[in-house]
C-alpha cells in the first residue's frame, strides 16, 4: 500500500485520468473528491463489496434450479411435426 500525506486542495493522480483530491480534513474525517471518466466505476468499499456479493449470488444457481434444469434436459424430446 502506498501511503501519502496530502493537505486540503492537494491531489493524487491514479493512471492518466483519475484524480483524487483532498477537499477537507476535520479530525478523523476526510472528505475527498474523485474525478474519473464515466466508464470508470467508483464506489465506497462497503458498497463495492455488497455489489460483488449480490452479483455472485445472482450468478450462482440454486440447487432447486439445477434440479429443474436437469429434469428438463432428461425428458425425451417431443415428437417433431411431419415434414411437408
pLDDT digits (tens, 9 = 90+) for 32-43: 999 999 999 999
Cell of 3: 501511503
Residue 32 CB contacts under 8 Å (≥ 6 apart), including other chains:
20, 21, 22, 23
55 contacts 41 by C-beta, under 8 angstroms: no
The CA distance from 68 to 21, in Å, is 52
39-78: pLDDT as tens digits: 999 999 999 999 999 999 888 888 888 888 888 888 876 6
Cell of 68: 429443474
Strand order in the sheet with 18-26: 11-14, 18-26, 29-35
- pTM of this prediction? 0.63
Amino acid at each position: 500500500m502506498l501511503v501519502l500525506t496530502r493537505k486540503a486542495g492537494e491531489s493524487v493522480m491514479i493512471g492518466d485520468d483519475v484524480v483524487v483530491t483532498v477537499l477537507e480534513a476535520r479530525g478523523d474525517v476526510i472528505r475527498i473528491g474523485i474525478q474519473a471518466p464515466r466508464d470508470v466505476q467508483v464506489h465506497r468499499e462497503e458498497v463495492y463489496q455488497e455489489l460483488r456479493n449480490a452479483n455472485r449470488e445472482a450468478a450462482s444457481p440454486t440447487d432447486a434450479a439445477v434440479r429443474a434444469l436437469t429434469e428438463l434436459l432428461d425428458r425425451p424430446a417431443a415428437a417433431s411435426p411431419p415434414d411437408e
